[in-house]
Structure 1
Amino acid sequence: MARMVGIFVCLLIVAMDIAAGVLGIKAEAAQNRTKHVRLWLFECKDPSHEAFKLGVAAITLLSLAHVLANLIGGCSICRREEYQKASPSKQCSVACLFLTWVVLAIALALMVIGTKSNHKSRATCGFTHHHYLSIGGILCFVHAGFSVGYYVTATAVFG
């Protein structure tokens, strides 16, 4: 029974991360369909409400997937001394946990910047913010891999 729950949790995390990635990439496509004028590094563009909604949905799904992976995976090592004496599977678990946080921080930052630039009150001219949403979406796929790796190694330690 516990094995089936573990498989379900992994599939749920992967599904949420994949959905967030697809929504981020679709938000980028919606943003590219808006009217814009470009001069070297500067660009003037109208915001896309569709890209804004898709970006918010992607951010929400990525955050929920991260919370789910961290809550279900737990924390097996909390101090540096424990980490140095830990088994390789525990060390792998901590490494995956660290990498999920790094990827989350980068992906969320990129998607928030891309989404904020599409807010309806921001018809802006300035430096280009190309591909922030799509790169954030691609990082959602990376987050899925590290999250599942963390969950599998964290639960293998306890089981």
Structure 2
Amino acid sequence: MRNLYVGISLCILVIALDVTAGILGLKAEAAQDKEKHMRFLLLECKPPSHHAYELGFAAAVIFGVAHVFANLVGGCNFRHASKLPMVCLVLTWIVMAVGMSLLVIGTKSNHKSKVSCGLSHNNFLSGGGILCFIHAVISVAYYVTSSATYPK
């Protein structure tokens, strides 16, 4: 019974970390959009936003910590016949890889010290933030399926 409470507490922690990272990613996108920029077709010139950089960096770090906890909570209980925990685990890794890539690309674009011009980079930070929320759902599904199918 004690393991159940520990598992539920860690799931709540993972959800809180993922939600926090998602909100920070969305706020970073909003901070980036506040900067004035010029756009012509697919080309865009915009100054970097230091505030967006800080928020994006914090979102990426918290997202990484959430992923580590999610993998620790779910464990590696794949000696049984059920494939659902493995599917959930693979999905968490895919969502993590894509979400972290989007957050890092969006954060890196705000790290420069001068105006940059090039192809427009739209919604990387908000896309990474949304994937943080999806990661929370899949991580809880991973914990539930791995603990439900683990032989007692």
Aligned pair 1:27/2:28, yes or no? yes
- Stretches of structure 2 that go unaligned for 5 or more consecutive residues are none
Query: SS state of the match for residue 83, structure 2?
Result: helix
Q: CA deviation at 1:73?
A: 1.7
Aligned counterpart, 1:125 = 117
Aligned counterpart, 2:106 = 114
Q: CA deviation at 1:122?
A: 5.1
Q: CA RMSD in A?
A: 1.3
Tell me the amino acid that sits aligned with residue 153 of structure 1.
T
The alignment's TM-score, normalised by the length of structure 1, stands at 0.89
**Pairs aligned (count):** 150
CA–CA separation in structure 2 for the residues paired with 1:121 and 1:76: 47
CA–CA separation in structure 1 for the residues paired with 2:13 and 2:58: 16
Q: CA deviation at 1:120?
A: 3.5
CA–CA separation in structure 1 for the residues paired with 2:10 and 2:143: 9
Aligned pair 1:65/2:66, yes or no? yes
Aligned counterpart, 1:8 = 9
Runs of 4+ aligned structure 1 residues displaced above 6 Å come to none
- Stretches of structure 1 that go unaligned for 5 or more consecutive residues are none
CA–CA separation in structure 2 for the residues paired with 1:14 and 1:103: 15
Q: CA deviation at 1:53?
A: 0.3
Aligned counterpart, 1:51 = 52
